[in-house]
Amino acid sequence: MSPAKKSVKTSVKKSVKPPASPFYEVRRSKIQGRGAFAILPIRKGKKIDEYWGKRITHDEADRRYDDSEARHHTFLFVLDDDTVLDARYGGNDARFINHSCDPNCETVIEHGHIWIKAMKAITPETELTYDYRFEWQDDYEPEDVRYYACRCGAKKCRGTILRIPVYLRATIKQWLAGNDVPVPKKPKKGAKKVVKKVVKKVVR
């Protein structure tokens, strides 16, 4: 008679599935790929959804993704100096909310969580957007800026999803137009602009 087999219980960690937001659904977008569209009226200040994703380090994010792909990767979201959320793993539909230079939403970080919040009242069928504001790097060249080109179509579109320093705005506009003009000298921190006062002569 064969010995009885022991019943061994194995503990399996169940991954937590992000809850679905009732305020929007994902459809094809004119901006890029898929986008999030309101299906209910959303009041100003309403938290629409939380941005979910696997928490990784910045070094791991750099290892997983680089800028050699044909298009930039937008599923990474910086939480703080140590942590990045990678929505490709464990992410929810918030990862499909597209960028716009004239957005109707904003992102708010509270107690280690990233929330998508309405900046204004949003009507059904409107695409939800927020400004990605990708961090500017001083070693960026014209091809890097064009790599991060914006196609939001807004009247206020700055042409790129990068957050451009004020002193470079005119230069970046030239780069996006295909004119690779040199980068102006970076102003020193704390440098004050010299303002010439115009004194009007009073003619009597």
Looking at this protein, which amino acid is placed at residue 175? W
pLDDT at 7 over 70: no
pTM of the model: 0.78
Q: Which residue has the higher pLDDT, 133 or 122?
A: 122
pLDDT at 202: 42
How far apart, in whole angstroms, are the C-alpha atoms of residue 119 and residue 128?
10
**What confidence tens digit (pLDDT) does each residue in 74-129 have?**
688 888 889 999 999 999 999 999 999 999 999 999 999 999 999 999 999 999 99
CATH class of 19-131: mainly beta
pLDDT at 196 over 90: no
The yes-or-no answer on residue 132 being catalytic is yes
pLDDT at 28: 97
pLDDT at 193: 52
Give the least confident one: 12-26, 41-55, 84-98.
Answer: 12-26
* Residue of 51, 130, 140, 148 marked catalytic: 51
How far apart, in whole angstroms, are the C-alpha atoms of residue 147 and residue 175?
11
Position 1 confidence tier, pLDDT thresholds 50, 70, 90 = very low
**How long is the chain?**
204
pLDDT at 57 over 70: yes
CA end-to-end distance (rounded Å), the chain? 125
**What confidence tens digit (pLDDT) does each residue in 145-189 have?**
998 999 899 998 999 999 999 999 999 999 999 999 999 988 887
Residues 201/188, Cβ–Cβ less than 8 Å: no
**Helix intervals (H) in the chain:** 58-64, 142-147, 169-176
Residues 49/115, Cβ–Cβ less than 8 Å: yes
How far is residue 118 from each of residues 32, 79, 80, 132, measured CA to CA in Å? 20, 19, 22, 15
Domain spans in the chain, listed from the N-terminal domain onward: 19-131, 133-185
Position 62 confidence tier, pLDDT thresholds 50, 70, 90 = confident
Summary mean pLDDT of the chain: 85
* Residue of 24, 132, 140, 148 marked catalytic: 132
